[in-house]
Chain A
């Protein structure tokens, strides 16, 4: 068998393709082209809403930690929330820009490398930003309690904060360990599958494999 022998089979495939093409063409005409543009607009909209929400949080938190800069635990809580907000805004902006540039008209190697890099970026940021919430909720509660109720939670009950921080660190480790145990199991929820793969490191490994595969293809 030669690669050229496969061309004969390819010609036979072409005849079948003609039949299938006519069926899909009807589907396509019914759905209308504008729908795809609206779907992509929806993705950008989701990122934009997240970005605006975090801009509001940062705008509230920045004056808070400036006002309490002499109180170390309030400064730390405010700064942690502020930095997390800035990181989330940056990732949202980057994703909006990348979605906007996601036209598939460039050469295959260029686009696939860009998509693999975007995938790696999403995996790393969602892992870092997601796991941070195990302890970040404490900072958010401290800031909220002081800001809206005038209660300094750390001054009232330092043990509660310390125990919560300890539990948060344990929670981080436990969620990674649990994800590793579940990594080989099948799930019906794509969202849960994504979370498990991200936490277990499978997504990062997949991103690396994709980039390696593209690099190898380019090298020849």
Chain B
């Protein structure tokens, strides 16, 4: 937060925005990679997030956390992007087979952990995807509640349910492989 204020204090509005965005550049791409699978779509979504953030920047209150502000924009844009006509058009139009082959599919990733991560994410709806992303990013329940617009109790309940669902999934495939974990509302 102190860094945000420092960053937001110097230079022209565009320079200040660029500096803040650079400090928090990971947010844009993590959100894009969670909501879109192919590289081209991720790039388009990342561009759209940056453009919308710049559009909203004159209203940014420098006394508040830039990361919370940025997460709200990135998640809102990503959910809208997935639901947009443009997105549907791509999925109903014939796709060039050569272009298709050039797109790396993360579900075929050599790394088991990444494959599991994408498998879990693929099963979530847009809102729960946002919740899991913020959790994986290490945000506390208060920050998650602030970004999503739900209560901390709700965040806690939802994460507990998600954890239970994951355990059930694993238990159904690998009986005995379940490790229980406490959920005290902290990371």
Contact = CB atoms under 8 A, between A and B. Distances in A.
Interface stretch (A10-18, A141-149, A175-183): A10-18
A40 B55 CA distance: 10
B76 A6 contact: no
Point out which of A1, A28, A186 has the most chain B C-beta atoms below 10 A from its C-beta.
A1
A167 to B, nearest CB: 31
Contacts of A8: 113
Contacts of A18: 26
Nearest to A2: B181
Interface stretch (A43-51, A75-83, A109-117): A109-117
A6 B120 CA distance: 9
Interface of B, helix, strand, loop or mixed by DSSP: helix
Given A24-B47, A33-B54, A220-B154, A103 B59 contact: yes
Interface residues of B, number: 72
B127 A107 contact: no
B130 interface: yes
A20 interface: yes
A214 interface: yes
Contacts of B88: 190, 193
A163 interface: no
Given A6-B117, A27-B47, A33-B51, A106 B170 contact: no
22 contacts: A1-B166, A2-B166, A6-B136, A7-B138, A9-B113, A12-B114, A17-B26, A17-B30, A20-B29, A36-B55, A103-B52, A105-B56, A105-B59, A108-B76, A109-B148, A111-B76, A112-B76, A112-B127, A188-B92, A213-B127, A218-B154, A220-B158
